[in-house]
Amino acid sequence: MNFSQAWDAGFRAVLIYIGVVFVWLGLIEHRFGDQATSVTVMNIVAAVAAVAFFIRAFRRAKAERLKAEADVRALMEGEI
């Protein structure tokens, strides 16, 4: 994963975190009796979603790079 891919994935992870917070506050928070518990659970869920997205993006970028390297290797072997 190069810097631009990491920056893009990190930015999207932050947007996912913020989106989960807004959805949580609008749709789920009122179901909790204690606001402190709701905020704690919300932060855990949002952080897990953001980290999971970043890890998925990292793995996808790594797989794409390995495939591209294999394609280049196959082309180079075919030309020699």
φ, ψ (nearest 5 deg) of residue 17: -60, -50
pLDDT in tens, 4-57: 999 999 999 999 999 999 999 999 999 999 999 999 999 999 999 999 999 999
Rounded Cα distance, 36 and 55, in Å: 28
What domain range includes position 18?
A: 3-79
Q: Is the pTM here over 0.85, yes or no? A: no
Q: How many domains does the chain have?
A: 1
